[in-house]
Amino acid sequence: MPVLVLPKSNRQAARVQGRTWQYTGVPKWIYLVAAVGALFILLPLTGMVAQVNWGQFGALVTSESSLAALVLSLKTAAASTALCIVFGVPLALLLARAQFLGQRILRALILLPLIVPPVVGGLALLYTFGRQGLIGKSLTLVGIDIAFSTTAVIMAQTFVALPFLVLSLEGTLRTAGQKYEAVAATLGARPGTVLRRITLPLVLPGLISGAVLSFARCLGEFGATLTFAGSLQGVTRTMPLEIYLQRETDPEAAVALSFLLIAVAVLVVALTYRVPKSPLRALVSPEATP
């Protein structure tokens, strides 16, 4: 039986609760099903942690090949995230704000890497930028070889991670509304000023969470990287590739590296997911303007 708690007259209390009404209409069985879902994600992680050989852990993760893979992963993921921001922000802005022919098709195409298997994405990159590829052929002529280089790793990661940033930011841009931008324009601000001083600060939380998602996706990238960049230690062999390789020869090292990758991912999410509360949220709740 749901209990109806009337809103407290104390505004501060309501703000702490984050909502005016404290009624929650969640049936009991929902908790049960949700718990099964949560366990499904948490149990395999626990199972893997149980397999970690803690005595050898230090030695396993600091081996030359492991360190090389970890450093390469962090470097390429950071570079890819930066590229995602550089290209993703304008894309999200166009999708959320502009109106042009083919906008819906563009949105659908940009989301394609989310649905297409990464291996297929890698092949697509290979047939475009590879030595025999559409653009790669001309690039080879001027002495640029992209495939099977660190650049290829970064391109593969950017390819699969870009939709995460675009999706996340476009959603934030839509809810952020255009009213503030209109006000800024009536105050004499040029479009560039509006973007820099109003739009971007307002959607910063969405941008940060989008970038975190993209970084995490880059860190885990396997299929497209293997297909387009190969597996060359220190050059293109990122953590997931190293783990997959070690699984055959040294399962204990693979488990230790897997744990390390999870730890890095958890750290990244924990550090950056505590994004500052959106400044817009204060205005959404009616308590903000008594």
Query: Where along the sequence are the contacts to another protein (CB under 8 A)?
Result: 179-180, 182-191, 193, 197-198, 201-202, 279-280, 282-283, 288-290
| In contact, 6 and 14? CB cutoff 8 Å | no
Q: Which is nearer to another protein, 24 or 289 (CB)?
A: 289
Q: What's the min distance (Å) between Cβ of 194 and another protein?
A: 8
- Residue 104's nearest CA partner among 170, 179, 175, 202 is 170
Q: Which is nearer to another protein, 46 or 193 (CB)?
A: 193
Q: What's the min distance (Å) between Cβ of 124 and another protein?
A: 40
Geometric angle at alpha carbon 223, from 219 and 228, rounded to 5°: 100
Residue bearing tokens 């803690």: 54
Q: What's the min distance (Å) between Cβ of 183 and another protein?
A: 5
> From CA 107, how far away is CA 104, in angstroms rounded?
5
> From CA 116, how far away is CA 65, in angstroms rounded?
30
Residues 6+ apart with CB under 8 A from 26: none
Q: Which is nearer to another protein, 203 or 229 (CB)?
A: 203
Q: What's the one-letter identity of residue 267?
A: L
Q: Which is nearer to another protein, 17 or 53 (CB)?
A: 17
Q: What's the min distance (Å) between Cβ of 206 and another protein?
A: 13
